[in-house]
Amino acid sequence: MSKKCKNNYKYFLDDFEEYPKKYFVRLFLIFFVSLLVTVTMFVFPQRIREEEVASLVYTTIDSPKLQPLTIGEAQKIIKESKAISVLFTVPKGEKYQELMKLFHNVRKMDELNRPIYFYPLIYHVNELAKEYNLAKNQMTIIFFKEGKEANRLTIEENKQYNFSDELIPEINRLPLTNIQKLENELVMENTQDIE
């Protein structure tokens, strides 16, 4: 075995001395292919995820008031927008289906005063939950003003809601953060006066 290895090594050295260009070209090709594979490992999964979400989740949405938010650009869009409302939810369950029915109701959507952007919680859920203080079992609509959270509306899975009557006014009030703060202060003052 060692004699065979020595012969192969000697053959390699002789061949390398005679045709060094051939070996450098092979080495370069191996390096180039490995670099190409490495780059595709980082680029393609993100695109594949975006295409999966687009084909499985966003194709079911045909409401002009519920706009898909591209997963790869969502955080950039949120930070750069002066004012944006974003729905964060896992795209399954009874509440989700009820919400989608509401967004597909043209008459009810006329009452909604601004579009809502939809960010489905499918990939990187734990990171998103930590960053935006979300719970997986809740639907959360957050109003961002100049990239910072200004107000939020949380729809819990175990509570009963009349989406058609209650949700649209609540969503319309999300941008009115100052009014909501004043209402909360009035409630606090009234409870202190009663005590």
> Once rounded to an integer, what is the mean pLDDT over residues 157-172?
79
Q: Is the pTM of this model over 0.75?
A: no
Structure tokens at 60: 């079911």
Q: How many independent structural domains does the chain possess? A: 2
| Structural domain for 13, as ranges | 2-42
The verdict on 28 and 89 lying in the same domain is no
- Give the lowest-confidence range in 40-44, 107-111, 141-145, 174-178: 174-178
**Domain CATH for 80:** 3.40.30.10
50 assigned to some structural domain:
no
The verdict on 26 and 121 lying in the same domain is no
The verdict on 67 and 111 lying in the same domain is yes
The verdict on 13 and 97 lying in the same domain is no
Give the single-character DSSP code of 163. Answer: I
Beta bridge partners of 153: 141
Please report which helix (H) or strand (E) contains residue 70, including its range: none
pLDDT at 184: 63
Structure tokens at 174: 């999300």
The verdict on 65 and 29 lying in the same domain is no
Q: Are 39 and 108 in contact (CB under 8 A)?
A: no
Please identify which residue in the block is written with the tokens 């043209």: 106
